Amino acid sequence: MNSFRKIMIVLSLLIFLLPFMACSTLFPPPKPKATVAVTPAQVELAFPGILRVPIVFTGTGWKPKEMVVVDMVLPPGVQMQGVKPGEDVGIAYGEADDAGNFKGEVPASAKLNTFFRVGYTLILSIDPKTLNPIPPGVYTIKASGTDSGALATTTLEFVAPIKK
């Protein structure tokens, strides 16, 4: 009778503890909140000056060694060759370090192709006659982790060139 009682106690404990053990695997702890910021927060749409201005994205809370992709959300009415309406445009990327911090800079090619929607000549040089800057305004920027799926947003403002 004593062994039956022990078995019942063990079974009761298992039945009581099983939901708690299952919850820890079904509901993992929340992911750290990923962040993204841009410097500078405002950029003048002036060519060729924009090529000399570093546009740098930084962030924290990413998975260590994860690739972070930075996309610009195109607002309705802003069209870009090769981009379907509703799609975002990749403008930078970076790899998170061991602490989950990342840094990525917008390369000149993204500035030309995305911010100025430039065309090219037959010898693949820039055709200045085709410069078609995006409309000035505040654009949403999305950073996403390729491994974790973490997502963070910020904004980047483009201002019309200052007349000199």
Strands 137-145 and 67-73: antiparallel
| pLDDT of 22 | 54
Domains by residue range for the chain, with CATH? 30-159 (2.60.40.10)
pLDDT at 127 (0 to 100): 75
Tens of pLDDT, residues 89-109: 999 999 999 999 999 999 999
Model confidence pTM above 0.85? no
Within the chain, strands assigned E span 37-39, 42-44, 56-59, 67-73, 88-95, 102-105, 119-120, 126-127, 137-145, 151-159
Contact between 160 and 47 under an 8 Å Cβ cutoff? The reply is no
How many residues are present in the chain?
A: 164
